Amino acid sequence: MLLPGSPSTGCYLWRATTQPVSGRGPALALPLAMLVVVLADRLWADKIAVRRQVRGWASVGLTALTAVVWTGLVVQGRSGCATSPAVIGAVVCGVLAATVCAHWATRGVPVDELLPERPEKSSDQPLNQSELRATFVQLCDFVTPGPPRRSVAAVLTAAASALLLLSTLLPWRELVDPVALGPAGAEAGLLRSQLWELPYALTWAVLVAVLAAGTLALSVTDLPLVRRTAATATGALTVVGTLHSLVQLPPRLPDGVGYQPGIGAWLALLLGVLLLVLGLLPLRQLAAVAAAAVLGLVGGLLVPQAAAAAYEPEVAAGSPHRLLNLNGGQLEDPMGMRVAIGTSDPLDSIAGNLDGTPGEWLLGRTGSEGSTVFAYADGVALPQVALSHGSTPPALLGVADHRMLLLAGGAGNRPWAVLAVPLNLVSADISLSHRDPDGRYYVTPGVEVLASGTGPALTHRNADRSVVIWGGTSTWEIPAAELRPGMKLDDFLVNPGPGAPGNSVSTGPDGTVAWRTSQTGLALHRPGSGVAQLAGVAPAGCPLSRDAASSSLTVEAFAVDVRGNLWLGGSAPTAVVTPDGVLRPLPSRVAGVDSIEARPDGSVVLGVSPGGGDQVLVVPDAAASAASYPAAGEPSARCDRRKPAGGSTSYRMSVVSPVPLVDPPVDVEGQAGKAVPGTGSQLALDAGGRLVRMRVPNAAHVWAPDGQGGVWWTVAGRAKPSYQLAVHLKSGKATVLRDPLPTAPDQRGESAAAAGDLLVNAIGGGQYNFYGPTVKRLQVNGKLRALAQLPSGAIAMVLGERLIQVEPDGRETVLLGGSSTGWPVSAAGVPAAERTTDGTWFTGPDGRPWVYDGTHLTRVDGPGRVTVIAGPADGVPQAADDVTPIGTSLYFALGHDTVRLEPIR
């Protein structure tokens, strides 16, 4: 038993191992306990009564110690610990020693009769010492009678009851996971649970323990009928309850993963049958015994549970309810398995079968750099494949052909890949942290790389089961059937309109397509109609109305369902735009939606984070019930965008081919050399007149276009850091101007605007540096929101809610504004004080202040006087992120697209 064994086989009691052997200590103490019993027996050899007690208690102690050994070794989960010769030998030795002690503790000493019928003829020789001692021992047995002998049935009843109590400490349920089915399953072991570790079985465990303890106590009494009744009730309750709970265990998966009864359940079943037999035999006085059996049978059918109550939501058509019973972003299934949603988007952690067959799969975080995919059926989650993915968890796309499809990586500018992971793998490395000599990403053998690229990369699923991946400057829409080895991403590029490349696109089976055009913009196109702008164009503070474009919507997520309804979610209440163009809020208010998925069955799933914990809501029959939702009210006159104003100039719109990203030909101080590029960039013309996107040096404080294809930026001088330099790069040549006044360390610059050779830079504290023929500093009080440098030398500033023109000598003139919730600048017939100054302000080609409010180009001609230059009907893009004037053309940033407006002469 003490011989060391190989660390790779079986379960030995004495060997070097990194795995815990919880029964090793008691097993090594068992031989010592036997030696102590032998010594104690010899020590009290002259005291017969004490000797019997020593043997009796030794039997109980050795039995308990042997049970502790067996329990400790079995609950580890390694199969070798239950069948190892050393372990079996320890248990056999313990049982044998306990049996010997029990035999000699209960065996009576045979003695001769004191007064035989025919007395022997006494010897003339005196008795020696040994004969006197033997006679004394015989007389002690008659003077101090031993304990009454118990019947075999009573002893077996007591033993079965005691063992039934001990069986509750053994594993009652085992989880056979992929690791246990793998080649190292014997060493890895099973995930086992004792009866007391199952919260939903606590009542059952207490009832079994109480009845077993009561039966054990009644076994030492002289009341056979009471003992039989208790044994029958305990046996019936145990047998029926155990069988009832085993029948309720969920079915195992085809690959063998699932739950199975543990040794504790089988032992309890065996002991229950024994108690039932001991209680029914002999067949006398069966009325009370039968009544106890009936009570035990009823209790066995009603009390035990194989699992906790399953989550059953209240389902109502058109109303959302929780798809999963998540608490704090964590799912606990009826079997006690916990799955923590491990992705920033909760819908990236749940997917179905891509071929439309029933099935649900969950991605649960199991560590800082690991996750596990679970098969989820009938409310029970069973582990499948363990993933090692690094700090960025993958997005679960779905399962097809016994392969799990994932989008791995893609955070920031890191690589990403679409992977197919076989479900028969125990674990897989998908971290994309290494490449092989051929330049391919290293993944676990068996994992296939279907497509790859450089991040960022995001994904969602469409109602037609296609998968959309977007990132960088491209968007791909891949049908589920095309996700296979050999696919080419270029075959699945989609571009429904300006702003779509590199942004999210959602397509319905009927051809309806919606896409994000910019940070705030959202466009919708239905077959047979034009493109409609739905978001990013309404003035601030507009409530939800029946016209989506006239509502101040912050759309974080959107999806087109199977009937062409467009679902919108974000900080505002969730709403749907039906095919008639009407915005209809969800009757049950749901806000804070991070993601939306329209499913092929017509339902819509919402990913929300209430109180910081992920939650998944589902709207059953959403596509069919959307048209029945009450429509929102009519928009107010201030918010109504259904009839945009017409302009005085027509423009021709064109999407510029991809604009190259280049570095400036000078260093940060405008000298010949190379600057360290930063993350910012600006549209400009290079030395050859080509449109480029110029990287701004990393050390630059602020920068601004000059309206003629050049770029200004400011920087602290190397020689004198407290003095700023202004660098003007135009046609590949740089001009440097120096500020003669020092700036405070906290005055890095807030914003800047330029017009040709003039630059104004807000340095904080109401101070502005003006760079031109002379460099000077102005003081203008007010909270700056926007800035525009005019060629005349005047500066247009949005201070608070007012547009003010500041002359070079410091004179100020209020042009318009005064209300944060006022009318748009392009509105006609509105007093200047009731207009808002929201929008992008810049110097127009005519040298006057222009503003782009998301739909119109408007020029301010003087105090209270405005002119609408152009609107949507004149070709002005809607909800653009930025506007850059270069000559007479205007360049709008729509996502990763650049749209040019040229006036039609």
CA–CA gap between residue 53 and residue 74 (Å, rounded): 32
Of 110-114, 182-186, 239-243, minimum mean pLDDT range = 110-114
pLDDT score of 18 more than 50: no
Specify the higher pLDDT residue, 497 or 676.
Answer: 497
Count of CB atoms situated within 10 Å of the CB of 326? 19
Q: Are 846 and 859 in contact, with CB atoms under 8 Å apart?
A: yes
Residue 504: pLDDT band (50, 70, 90) is: very high
What is the average pLDDT across 122-149? 60
pLDDT score of 766 more than 90: no
What is the average pLDDT across 739-754? 81
Residue 114 lies in a domain: no
Are residue 3 and residue 96 in the same domain, yes or no? Answer: yes
Q: Are 394 and 408 in contact, with CB atoms under 8 Å apart?
A: yes
CA–CA gap between residue 795 and residue 357 (Å, rounded): 65
Q: Are 27 and 69 in contact, with CB atoms under 8 Å apart?
A: yes
Q: Would you call 411 helix, strand, or coil by DSSP?
A: coil
User: Which of 598, 624, 643 is where one domain is finished?
Assistant: 643
Are residue 196 and residue 269 in the same domain, yes or no? Answer: yes
pLDDT per position as a tens digit, 610-668: 765 688 999 998 999 999 999 999 999 999 988 888 888 889 999 998 899 999 999 99
pLDDT score of 114 more than 50: no
HSE-up (13 A, CA, CB side) for residue 396? 31
CA–CA gap between residue 495 and residue 516 (Å, rounded): 11
- CA 265 from chain centre, in angstroms, equals 35
Q: What's the pLDDT score for residue 17?
A: 42
User: Which of 643, 676, 692 is where one domain is finished?
Assistant: 643
Are residue 218 and residue 298 in the same domain, yes or no? Answer: yes
Question: Which residues, other chains included, contact 386 with Cβ-Cβ below 8 Å and sequence gap of 6+?
Answer: 178, 179, 366, 370, 371, 372, 426, 427, 428
Specify the higher pLDDT residue, 764 or 510.
Answer: 510
Specify the higher pLDDT residue, 118 or 806.
Answer: 806
575-577 and 583-585 as β-strands: parallel, antiparallel, unpaired? Answer: antiparallel
Helix (H) or strand (E) holding 651: strand 651-656
- CA 122 from chain centre, in angstroms, equals 96
Specify the higher pLDDT residue, 475 or 244.
Answer: 475
Are residue 578 and residue 694 in the same domain, yes or no? Answer: no
Q: What's the pLDDT score for residue 116?
A: 54
The two tokens of residue 724 are: 């700023």
Specify the higher pLDDT residue, 76 or 291.
Answer: 291
Q: Are 596 and 557 in contact, with CB atoms under 8 Å apart?
A: yes
Residue 119 lies in a domain: no
What is the average pLDDT across 819-827? 83
Rounded to 10 degrees, the C-alpha dihedral 218/222/225/230 comes to 0
Are residue 723 and residue 813 in the same domain, yes or no? Answer: yes
User: Which of 643, 666, 681 is where one domain is finished?
Assistant: 643
Q: What is the count of structural domains for the chain?
A: 5
Are residue 598 and residue 663 in the same domain, yes or no? Answer: no
CA–CA gap between residue 195 and residue 302 (Å, rounded): 17
Q: Are 515 and 499 in contact, with CB atoms under 8 Å apart?
A: yes
Which among 835, 829, 830, 739 has a CA at the least distance from the CA of 778? 739
- Look-up of token digits 């940060």: 668
Q: Which residues pair with 194 in a beta bridge?
A: 171
Highest mean pLDDT of the ranges 96-100, 220-224, 730-734: 730-734
pLDDT per position as a tens digit, 443-502: 889 999 999 988 789 999 999 999 999 988 899 999 999 999 989 999 999 999 999 999
CA–CA gap between residue 270 and residue 268 (Å, rounded): 5
Task: List the 812-817 sheet strands across, edge first.
Answer: 784-789, 795-799, 802-806, 812-817
Q: Would you call 394 helix, strand, or coil by DSSP?
A: coil
Q: Are 87 and 72 in contact, with CB atoms under 8 Å apart?
A: no
The two tokens of residue 306 are: 């194989």
CATH of the domain at 871: 2.120.10
Count of CB atoms situated within 10 Å of the CB of 808? 15
Strands (E), 224-319: 258-261
What is the average pLDDT across 588-617? 87
Are residue 407 and residue 432 in the same domain, yes or no? Answer: yes
Residue 146: pLDDT band (50, 70, 90) is: very low
Residue 491 lies in a domain: no
Of 412-416, 519-523, 769-773, minimum mean pLDDT range = 412-416
Q: Are 527 and 511 in contact, with CB atoms under 8 Å apart?
A: yes
Highest mean pLDDT of the ranges 60-69, 247-256, 485-494: 485-494
Residue 318: pLDDT band (50, 70, 90) is: confident
Residue 470 lies in a domain: no
Helix residue ranges per DSSP H, 128-223: 129-143, 152-167, 178-181, 185-188, 202-218
- Phi-psi category of residue 707: left, alpha or beta, with phi > 0 → left and psi -120 to 50 → alpha: left
Can you give the residue range of the structural domain that contains 50? 1-107
pLDDT score of 278 more than 70: yes
The DSSP annotation for 317-337 comes to TTS-EESS-EETTEEE-TTS-
Residue 476 lies in a domain: no
Q: What's the pLDDT score for residue 183?
A: 63
Q: Are 268 and 208 in contact, with CB atoms under 8 Å apart?
A: yes
The two tokens of residue 630 are: 């009450």
For 190, 244, 365, 824, the CA distances from 165, given in Å and listed in that order, are: 23, 19, 37, 80
Are residue 353 and residue 301 in the same domain, yes or no? Answer: no
Q: What Rg, from alpha-carbon coordinates, does the chain have?
A: 42
pLDDT score of 6 more than 50: no
For 296, 395, 431, 456, the CA distances from 411, given in Å and listed in that order, are: 60, 12, 12, 5
Q: Are 839 and 821 in contact, with CB atoms under 8 Å apart?
A: no
pLDDT score of 75 more than 70: no
Rounded to 10 degrees, the C-alpha dihedral 837/841/843/849 comes to 0
pLDDT more than 70, % of the chain? 88
Count of CB atoms situated within 10 Å of the CB of 548? 28
CA–CA gap between residue 460 and residue 468 (Å, rounded): 5
Specify the higher pLDDT residue, 401 or 21.
Answer: 401
CA–CA gap between residue 790 and residue 361 (Å, rounded): 60
The two tokens of residue 242 are: 């155990």
Q: Would you call 81 helix, strand, or coil by DSSP?
A: helix
Q: Would you call 402 helix, strand, or coil by DSSP?
A: coil
Count of CB atoms situated within 10 Å of the CB of 271? 25
Residue 140 lies in a domain: no
Of 369-383, 388-402, 549-563, 609-623, minimum mean pLDDT range = 609-623
Task: List the 448-454 sheet strands across, edge first.
Answer: 395-400, 403-409, 415-422, 448-454
pLDDT score of 582 more than 90: yes
The two tokens of residue 367 are: 């560590």
Q: What's the pLDDT score for residue 619?
A: 93
Are residue 341 and residue 265 in the same domain, yes or no? Answer: no
Q: What's the pLDDT score for residue 464?
A: 92
Q: Which residues pair with 697 in a beta bridge?
A: 677
Residue 312 lies in a domain: no
Highest mean pLDDT of the ranges 21-35, 257-271, 616-630: 616-630
- Phi-psi category of residue 679: left, alpha or beta, with phi > 0 → left and psi -120 to 50 → alpha: alpha
Q: What's the pLDDT score for residue 176?
A: 85
751-755 and 733-738 as β-strands: parallel, antiparallel, unpaired? Answer: unpaired
Question: Which residues, other chains included, contact 275 with Cβ-Cβ below 8 Å and sequence gap of 6+?
Answer: 157, 160, 161, 164, 215, 231, 232, 234, 235, 238
Are residue 717 and residue 789 in the same domain, yes or no? Answer: yes
CA–CA gap between residue 595 and residue 606 (Å, rounded): 6
Q: Are 608 and 592 in contact, with CB atoms under 8 Å apart?
A: yes
Q: What's the pLDDT score for residue 522?
A: 95
Residue 71: pLDDT band (50, 70, 90) is: confident
What is the average pLDDT across 412-435? 90
Which among 219, 80, 240 has a CA at the least distance from the CA of 152? 219
Q: What's the pLDDT score for residue 187?
A: 52
Are residue 811 and residue 670 in the same domain, yes or no? Answer: yes
Are residue 790 and residue 664 in the same domain, yes or no? Answer: yes
Burial 422-436 (b: 16+ CB within 10 A, else e): ebebbebbbbbeeee
- Cis amide bond preceding 110, omega within 30: no
Q: How many residues does the chain have?
A: 905
What is the average pLDDT across 393-419? 91
Residue 55 lies in a domain: yes
